Amino acid sequence: MSLDAAPESLLAVCRLTDLVPERGAAALVDGEQVALFRMVDDEVLAVQQLDPYSGANVMSRGIVGTRGEAWTVASPMYKQVFDLRTGECLDTQGREPRRLRTWPVRCRDGVVLLARGPREG
Amino acid sequence: MPQEKDRPEEIDVQDQTPPDPADTTADRPRRLVVVGAGMVAHRLVEALLQRDTTGAFTVTVLGEEEHPPYDRVGLTSFFAGRDAEQLALGDPALWDDDRVDLVLGSRVTGLDRAARTVTTATGQVHRYDELVLATGSSAFVPPVAGADLPGVFVYRTLDDVARLQRWVRDRAEQHDRPLRGAVVGGGLLGLEAAGALQSMGVHSTVVEFAPRLMAVQVDEAGGHALQRIITRLGIEVRTSTATTAITAGPDGAVAAMTFSDGSSTDVDVVVVAAGIRPRDELARAAGLAVGPRGGLVVDDACRSEDPHVSAVGEVACIRGATLGLVAPGYTMAEILTDRLLGGQATFPGADTSTKLKLLGVDVASFGDAFAATPGALEVVYADPAAGVYKKLVLSDDAEVLLGGILVGDASAYASLRPMVGRRLGVDPAAFLLPEGAAAGPAGLELPDEAVVCSCNNVTAGAVRCAVSEQGACDLAAVKGCTRAGTSCGSCLPSVKKLMTTELEKSGLTVSRALCEHFEQTRAELFEIVRVTRLTTFSEIISRHGRGRGCDICKPVVASVLASLGGGHILAGEQAALQDTNDHVMANLQKDGSYSVVPRIPGGEVTAEGLIAIGEVARDFGLYTKITGGQRIDLFGVRLEQLPAVWRRLVAAGFESGHAYGKSLRTVKSCVGSTWCRYGVQDSVGLAVALELRYRGLRSPHKLKLGVSGCARECAEARGKDVGVIATEQGWNLYVGGNGGATPRHAQLLAADLDNDTLVRTVDRFLMYYVRTADRLQRTAAWLEELDGGLDHVREVVVEDALGIGADLEQAMAAHVDGYADEWAAVLADPEQLRKFTAFVNAPDHVDESLQYVPERGQIRPATPSERTGGAVLIAGAELEVRR
């Protein structure tokens, strides 16, 4: 799905300033929990809030970092590390690989917009 | 498997005639019977089972003591809390081998060489094809009147030291005053015993017949240096003195000693350590030749005149002498193993080098320590003020090292001992001067055949080979490959140096990098941040790392900044570095809710305090549980409820308990002398003071402390990183304990400290740990990894050998002065409170995925099947909250 192709599907979630750089926050989108992360360059990335390994809604509370070129978040529960752009699990801590859903995000006029139809990461 | 007593099935009654010599080539395994289960017997069995790949032998080990082979050399560490299990030698799986039978509590009383049998005190008969006597020695008790009185002990076995400890404890309780003791014998063992008595708070006198201490190992000047140091430690020394009588008091127990000069002294306990005698009675009774000073006479193959009887260790008289050290015993065990398996090894002569630490004083003696070689030269360095005496013995051309004596500072021992018999190639003074002694002069390279570990006869070449050919790339792997440093450990600095050099040569470097973003270790990062005074992660990573960090390095930098007094842990950029627990100052639970633990210093809490906590738990519907650290954990708090819960707790006078941090957790205490009938010091008072002092201190891992008010140790302080146990005189300080998956008992760092000295020592210890430990390394692992271990830490924090004591204390003082309750600060900061929302776009919405069911009158998270099965659910607590 392309953002420009379907602008009507964008949902305003919060202001950019509601988010702390390199930290996550949870948002409710159509009853589903989404974890938003604000990067140092003010880009915002979104993945599912549900940690696929623990089953708890905690991904937004993980530590943000980098692995090589990839932006990552580490689950605060059992420390699996995920690529924030692709949702791919980069460090499974010995478990079978599981992905996070990702959402395209755009910022306009200081407002964080999330594409409604979830894209499989 | 170890057996408690002889097993009846061991009796071999069918086969009591000597086997036909032609039979020995038969297929059945030959029976090896080892009499004695000490250190050398253990080494023999271990080596034989390892190398006997064809099943040539079955082995029966008959031990007189009730314990499997243990580290007799380390016997004194019993007083620092090492029990029989911790002193046990090697892998206990050795005794599970089908080929070996270890029979304990079994004293052999008869040897019938014609029938090839031995008989035990209980009448069991064991037939042998090969017999090894490894009976060791017994303590020699001089024929002095009263040497058999209650309160007079020898110092040889675990049972001996356990009895000694029990006696001292009981007498101290009866007399209610410090005890006085005496040690007969000023040799190695006597000084060990004096140290043991001192560690139990007994004021003691060492009585030595010879004109100096440790006459066997050190020369006159060395002996006097040692005496000066030991006297300074508060132990009285009387040399050239014979004990003429030991006399009893009215209760029949030892009460006084009289000496050859007519003087006498009052004593409550006496330890006799006047030498050892080989346990050769079996050999004598069997008509075998014994040496002039005892011991079964054996040849260089360890065989006696009876080809089926051998001897190893202290009971063997080899080349005309018995040897009271473990290293030559181990060599004999290796020789005999080789011979039993058909080899031709011969005894190369004994290395009588010794390095030990007595009462914290280094003493080492090696090679030709007494300069007996014709024309030998002596180079001496002595500093009586510092309590140091060092001597090197050199060949007449001053080129070849022959031996030496080191008293007070034996750090050069590891580099010097392997050089015995070799050209030094550098100025000998370089080894003797205080600086650089430990590492040895730069550029010194050991030849491959130089023995580095004399306990296990490991050469420098073997260590290099372990690295270059067997792929060992850390100390543990080198130890595993070569056994170097696995006995006394004194060679470990040399082994480590050899290993590192070899790794560098082969182009291998061991990565000590924290993560992909920092090449430094945590300790190195700590120093960088301390020296550069950088205060933000961005600056630190851009100057000293790469990328933007990760869940490994971010919390480490956050912890380092916090330890260095970087202000509130959530201030500015630091907030983004914290793990979720530190970020919201609570403990994440499996369902995504948090638990909250208010600080209860020393476990002391008022009724009002308990009521306030109870009311919070009730009003928020929390699950409550008492923790092991004597406080109360409140579970099931939602992220957005944390500030409201803490507002109530802070109003009731509570503050953060830091249960979420890699920081000081609790100081557990027993009730102590204020209430307890047995308490000797105010343990709660001290625990509260320590907890208030160190609260909030960020460290490489969590830190737990404990304070017990008497030796009964009800606070389990020795299971803590820092454990304090009351004595009549003050406090004993233990360090490096923990519970968890690998429980460790803390070891004694310093004894009988007053309150101020205790606090100063703990200040230094904790700050040294905070500065130098690795990430997530608790104090036990840190002590183990650190070069020099506990001794090194003692030198740094007790003796201030590095001269950083004041700096460490100052750093701790800054922490104490800078402490403020983290939670109170957050409650006062609207910016900080913003993050305590479930959803950034729906602040009033409650996370409905948090569901609970009742259990035993409280809540617990619903299981997945309960969620889908529609069990009775409690969706959080929606009770009215008083603000």
Residue pLDDT, tens place only, B361-392: 888 999 899 998 898 999 888 888 878 899 99
Q: Using the predicted structure, report yes or no on whether residue B443 has a pLDDT greater than 50.
A: no
Asked if residues B642 and B594 have their Cβ atoms less than 8 Å apart, the reply is: yes
Type of residue numbered B740: G
CA-based nearest distance B579→chain A, Å: 6
Identify all chain A residues contacting B588, using CB atoms and an 8 Å cutoff. 58, 61, 76-77
For residues B670 and B775, the model is more confident at B670
For residues B538 and B176, the model is more confident at B538
A72 shares contact with chain B (CB less than 8 Å): yes
CA B5 to chain centre: 31
**Contact yes or no for B592 and A56 at CB 8 A:** yes
| Residue B458 φ/ψ region, left for φ over 0, alpha for ψ in the -120 to 50 degree band, beta for the rest | beta
* Both structure tokens of B238: 């009387």
**Contact yes or no for A23 and B838 at CB 8 A:** no
pLDDT of residue B489: 66
Determine the Cα–Cα distance for residues A119 and B748; give it in Å rounded to an integer: 61
Does a structural domain hold residue A117?
Answer: no
Residues of chain A by 3-state class (helix, strand, coil), percent to 5: 5, 45, 45
CA-based nearest distance B847→chain A, Å: 9
pLDDT of residue B10: 42
Q: Using the predicted structure, report yes or no on whether residue A2 has a pLDDT greater than 50.
A: no
Q: What value does the mean pLDDT of chain B take?
A: 88
**Contact yes or no for A55 and B864 at CB 8 A:** yes
**Contact yes or no for B591 and A14 at CB 8 A:** no
Q: Using the predicted structure, report yes or no on whether residue B529 has a pLDDT greater than 50.
A: yes
Q: Is B457 helix (H, G, I), strand (E, B) or coil?
A: coil
Determine the Cα–Cα distance for residues B35 and B251; give it in Å rounded to an integer: 40
pLDDT of residue B594: 97
Q: For chains A and B, count residue pairs whose Cβ atoms are closer than 8 Å.
A: 95
Does a structural domain hold residue A2?
Answer: no
B547 shares contact with chain A (CB less than 8 Å): yes
Q: What CATH number did the domain enclosing A98 receive?
A: 2.102.10.10
CA-based nearest distance A97→chain B, Å: 19
Tens-digit pLDDT profile for residues B483-495: 887 766 667 767 8
- Give the chain B residue nearest A55 (alpha carbons): B591
Identify all chain B residues contacting A79, using CB atoms and an 8 Å cutoff. 551
Question: Which pLDDT band, with edges at 50, 70 and 90, does B508 fall under?
Answer: low
Find the range with the poorest average confidence among B91-100, B582-591, B659-668: B91-100
**Contact yes or no for A61 and B588 at CB 8 A:** yes
B385 shares contact with chain A (CB less than 8 Å): no
Measured between CB atoms, which of B554, B588, B840 is closest to A18?
A: B840
- Answer yes or no: CATH 3.40.630.20 is held by domain B662-819: no
Question: Which pLDDT band, with edges at 50, 70 and 90, does B157 fall under?
Answer: very high
**Contact yes or no for A22 and B592 at CB 8 A:** no
For residues B41 and B442, the model is more confident at B41
* Both structure tokens of B833: 């409170």
Number of neighbours of residue B539 by Cβ within 10 angstroms: 13
Q: Over pLDDT 70: what percentage of chain B?
A: 93
Query: How many structural domains compose chain A?
Result: 1
The burial of B256, by beta-carbon neighbours within 10 Å (0-12 exposed, 13-18 middle, 19 or more buried), is given as middle
Q: Is B177 helix (H, G, I), strand (E, B) or coil?
A: coil
Interface test with chain A among B589, B840, B868, by most A beta carbons within 10 Å: B840
SS (H, E, C) B567-602: CCCCCHHHHHHCCHHHHHCCEECCCCCEEECECCHH
Residues A58-76 have a mean pLDDT of: 95
- Give the chain B residue nearest A112 (alpha carbons): B841
* Both structure tokens of B124: 């069991």
Q: Using the predicted structure, report yes or no on whether residue B64 has a pLDDT greater than 50.
A: yes
The runs of H, that is alpha helices, within B75-157 are 84-87
How many CA atoms lie within 13 Å of B156's alpha carbon, on the beta-carbon side? 21
Q: What value does the mean pLDDT of chain A take?
A: 88
Number of neighbours of residue B842 by Cβ within 10 angstroms: 15
Question: Which fold would CATH assign to domain B354-444?
Answer: Enolase-like; domain 1 (3.30.390)
Measured between CB atoms, which of B577, B581, B842 is closest to A28?
A: B842
Identify all chain A residues contacting B583, using CB atoms and an 8 Å cutoff. 23, 61
Question: Which pLDDT band, with edges at 50, 70 and 90, does B3 fall under?
Answer: very low
Does a structural domain hold residue A43?
Answer: yes
Measured between CB atoms, which of A18, A40, A55 is closest to B548?
A: A40
Measured between CB atoms, which of A19, A26, A65 is closest to B549?
A: A65
A22 shares contact with chain B (CB less than 8 Å): yes
B571 shares contact with chain A (CB less than 8 Å): no
For residues B422 and B750, the model is more confident at B750
**Cross-strand bridge partners of residue B635:** B595, B623
- Which residue ranges of B are tagged as binding site for [4Fe-4S] cluster? 670, 676, 710, 714
Type of residue numbered B280: D
Q: Using the predicted structure, report yes or no on whether residue B441 has a pLDDT greater than 70.
A: no
Asked if residues B409 and B223 have their Cβ atoms less than 8 Å apart, the reply is: no
pLDDT of residue B479: 79
Identify all chain A residues contacting B840, using CB atoms and an 8 Å cutoff. 13-14, 18-19, 25-27, 36
**DSSP E strands, B739-881:** 747-753, 852-855, 858-861
Does a structural domain hold residue A47?
Answer: yes
- Which residue ranges of B are tagged as binding site for siroheme? 714
Whether B152-274 and B2-138+278-340 are alike in CATH topology: the answer is yes
Tens-digit pLDDT profile for residues A91-106: 888 778 899 999 999 9
Does a structural domain hold residue A7?
Answer: no
**Contact yes or no for B583 and A61 at CB 8 A:** yes
Interface test with chain A among B516, B517, B537, B551, by most A beta carbons within 10 Å: B551
Residues B755-763 have a mean pLDDT of: 97
A11 shares contact with chain B (CB less than 8 Å): no
A94 shares contact with chain B (CB less than 8 Å): no
pLDDT of residue B13: 42
Q: How many helices (H) and strands (E) does chain B have?
A: 26, 39
Q: Give contacts of B 770-809 with A, CB under 8 A.
A: none
Tens-digit pLDDT profile for residues B87-134: 888 888 889 889 999 999 999 999 999 999 999 999 999 999 999 999
Identify all chain A residues contacting B555, using CB atoms and an 8 Å cutoff. 63
Residues A18-47 have a mean pLDDT of: 93
Residues of chain B by 3-state class (helix, strand, coil), percent to 5: 35, 20, 45
Q: Using the predicted structure, report yes or no on whether residue B473 has a pLDDT greater than 70.
A: yes
List Cβ neighbours of B307 (8 Å cut-off, separation of 6 or more). none
User: b vs e for B84-106, b when ≥16 Cβ sit within 10 Å of the residue's Cβ?
Assistant: eeebbbbeeebbeeeebbbbbbb
pLDDT of residue B511: 65
CA-based nearest distance A61→chain B, Å: 6
pLDDT of residue B349: 82
**Contact yes or no for B549 and A66 at CB 8 A:** yes
- Answer yes or no: CATH 3.40.710.10 is held by domain B152-274: no
A57 shares contact with chain B (CB less than 8 Å): yes
Asked if residues B247 and B150 have their Cβ atoms less than 8 Å apart, the reply is: no
Question: Which pLDDT band, with edges at 50, 70 and 90, does B642 fall under?
Answer: very high
**Contact yes or no for A27 and B547 at CB 8 A:** no
Does a structural domain hold residue A89?
Answer: yes
* Both structure tokens of B454: 């004399």
- Give the chain A residue nearest B553 (alpha carbons): A65
Question: Which fold would CATH assign to domain B2-138+278-340?
Answer: FAD/NAD(P)-binding domain (3.50.50)
B847 shares contact with chain A (CB less than 8 Å): yes
Q: Using the predicted structure, report yes or no on whether residue B82 has a pLDDT greater than 50.
A: yes
CA nearest to B329, candidates B341, B318, B340? B318
CA nearest to B497, candidates B524, B463, B523? B463
Tens-digit pLDDT profile for residues B822-854: 999 999 999 899 889 999 999 888 888 899 999
Find the range with the poorest average confidence among A27-36, B70-79, B161-170, B588-597: B70-79
Q: Which domain holds residue A81?
A: 19-104
pLDDT of residue B264: 92
Measured between CB atoms, which of B548, B578, B581 is closest to A66?
A: B548
pLDDT of residue B170: 92
Long-range contacts of B349-353 (CB under 8 A, 24+ apart): B349/B319, B350/B318, B350/B319, B350/B323, B350/B325, B351/B327, B351/B451, B351/B454, B352/B323, B352/B325, B352/B328, B353/B327, B353/B417, B353/B420, B353/B454
A90 shares contact with chain B (CB less than 8 Å): no
Identify all chain B residues contacting A36, using CB atoms and an 8 Å cutoff. 840
Residue ranges per structural domain of chain B: 2-138+278-340, 152-274, 354-444, 522-578, 662-819
Residues A109-121 have a mean pLDDT of: 75
Q: Using the predicted structure, report yes or no on whether residue B152 has a pLDDT greater than 70.
A: yes
Question: Which pLDDT band, with edges at 50, 70 and 90, does B456 fall under?
Answer: confident
